[in-house]
Structure 1
């Protein structure tokens, strides 16, 4: 059980709580300082003051960043509530309307490029009173933002063996919207481009455009299970850069099927038959508490948009 002295903790500052939320989301003191425009030492002092008031560590310092302790999770949960109430009070005092019709949505890169814009265009027509803000990031960042209270919903991409995106408590509410196989993007001038699909055996010996892993994100770009060491001739993080390299005839790369409609001229996106299949799940994540009505409406719009192009599998 975590024991915090109530009288000592009553003196914590609002600035300290905001800094703590930022550190919890960013995962490092350095990243939090950059986001807030503070020095790292200023962030460290705010965290140290919180920990002195709590009389217990709130963060576990590790080589790859920080992780919340059990006491830290308690403080984060309360910090989210307190800072949200203060912000609502400030808006009310200045005569601005309460943001009850606001939803903050996070998404992985290819969803942010295709699915999210399509959903938002339709959502503005059907729910003009709901303000939606979005941010694109990898899974670790999106999960931390959910737990820090800076996102209401997040679209995540998951690959086998489909483990939970983190091990924190309480577990996130995860809904599987769809499961799809990846495809291969091929230059229109490539010998494989004239087919309706690519045989797995024909992928051996091809030149590939890959991605470097970032944090816990798995790299994409090379089809799995190929014999020998695949020849990676270009490395690019951004999906649009990879597809433009494909269009220039520089190699092949794997892509989600959702990008088929956004591929530049000179690219064909084809399914692969035979051999290991590279599966991806589209998942909608949120904290386990009851979402707002606005968040539920946006979640339904996201489900419907995914159903249009793929049959969803069961939810968890």
Structure 2
């Protein structure tokens, strides 16, 4: 039988990339971490970690075992929550969400959840997709509001990941220009028309996305600033620092002195979705997912 503690140690090695850092995280000695990994390898008859002066990397067998470790950890967390519910009579539901998506969809959806399941104790964790998906996979969160651009979601997501993605809505990005900009009165603007403009952006992911689209349009954008707040980025546009690219749901509240212009097709777009554990079909989770879909549908018909 495979020891659960050894799987936990392997997960830490995979996450931190070295025995020393895994030992710090687990409050063990590096020797103890090494012994746990060696014992796991003996029980499997296969190496799970390749050791080098640069650190520790998983072998193919190690990646298989880390996937199993994540599933085991999630099942144990789920069982613990079920026991807590039986003992206390309340169900704990943890939602991980990125800020703008949560602000748009969660309040009304949570009101519907609490009306249908008044014994549910809701906890919210703000997290970007690269952090929220592992929380769901590990069982720390029951579901996550997440987004992606034109690439895959961060982390593993597929038939073997234990996670399920359900799309909610599309969130096209818009050009934000000063109100005196020559293109500010247009009904839409081609991205190529913005070549040569300085940019100030409200998200590091938006910068990477802009660069991919700009390359297709035949130019390399000059990015003068990247913030972590779309409102701040729009304020910098109003101040004349540059122009910006902002998702539609992040265009409120309005900023005086700027105009928003849609990008002509093919427009860069964020895709919203909800991520859940594929095998856990709990009533309160189903209710919240249905409520989120309803809120997204209302948004798309506005």
TM-score by length of 1: 0.71
Q: Is contact 2:175–2:260 with CA below 8 Å preserved after alignment? A: yes
Q: Does the CA-based 8 Å contact 2:145-2:275 persist in structure 1?
A: yes
| Counterpart for residue 294 of structure 2 | 304
Q: Tell me by how many angstroms 1:29 deviates.
A: 6.0
Structure 2 unpaired stretches of 5+: none
Q: Which residue matches 1:54?
A: 40
The match for 1:129 is 119
Deviation at 1:174, TM superposition (A): 1.8
Ranges in structure 1 where 5+ consecutive residues have no aligned partner: 1-5, 312-316
Q: Distance in 2 between matches of 1:189 and 1:43?
A: 63
CA contact (8 A) 2:89 2:119 kept: no
Match of residue 274 from structure 2: 284
Match of 2:174 in 1: 183
The 8 Å contact of residues 28 and 66 in structure 1, kept in 2 or not, is answered as no
Q: Distance in 2 between matches of 1:212 and 1:85?
A: 37
The structure-2 alpha-carbon separation of the partners of 1:116 and 1:240, relative to structure 1 and needing over 3 Å to count, comes to farther
How do 1:224-303 residues align onto structure 2 when only pairs under 5 Å count?
Answer: 224=214, 225-273=216-264, 276-303=266-293
Contact 1:211–1:219 (CA under 8 A) maintained in structure 2: no
Once the two structures are superposed, the pairs formed by residues 155-166 of structure 1 within 5 Å of their partners are 155-160=145-150, 162=152, 166=156
- CA gap of 1:129–1:72, structure 2 versus 1, over 3 A, is same
Which residue of structure 2 lines up, in the alignment, with residue 143 of structure 1?
133
Matches within 5 A, 1:5-84: 6=1, 9=2, 27-28=15-16, 42=28, 47-48=33-34, 50-55=36-41, 56=44, 69-84=63-78
Q: State the distance in 2 between where 1:86 and 1:290 align.
A: 14
Q: Structure 1: how far apart are the matches of 2:135 and 2:123?
A: 14
How far apart, CA to CA, are the structure 1 residues paired with 2:260 and 2:105?
17
Deviation per CA, 1:58-80: give whole Å up to 9, x if none. Answer: 66779798666212222332233
Say what the alpha-carbon RMSD is for the aligned residues.
Answer: 4.1
Aligned residues: 289
Q: Which moved more, 1:289-298 or 1:171-180?
A: 171-180
Deviation at 1:280, TM superposition (A): 2.5
Q: Take 2:50 and 2:97, find their aligned partners in 1: how far apart are those partners?
A: 27
**CA contact under 8 A between 2:98 and 2:127: conserved in structure 1?**
yes
1:208 is aligned to 199
Supply the distance in 2 between the matched residues of 1:20 and 1:98 (Cα, whole angstroms). Answer: 35
Closer/same/farther in 2, CA of residues 83 and 288 from structure 1, 3 Å limit: closer
C-alpha distance after superposition, 1:239-276 (max 9, x if no partner): 343233234332222122122334444443331225x4
Tell me: CA distance 1:22–1:144, structure 2 relative to 1, closer, same or farther (3 Å).
farther
CA spacing shift, 1:124–1:288, aligned 2, 3 Å: closer
SS at match of 1:289: coil
Aligned residue for 2:252, secondary structure, equals helix
Once the two structures are TM-superposed, the CA of residue 292 in structure 1 deviates from its matched residue by 1.0
Seen in structure 2, the aligned counterparts of structure 1 residues 97 and 280 have a Cα distance that, compared at 3 Å, is same
Secondary structure of the residue that 1:242 maps to in structure 2?
helix
Distance 1:306 1:64 in 2: 44
Match of 1:173 among 164, 171, 182: 164
For the 8 Å contact 1:17–1:79, the answer to whether it is kept is: no
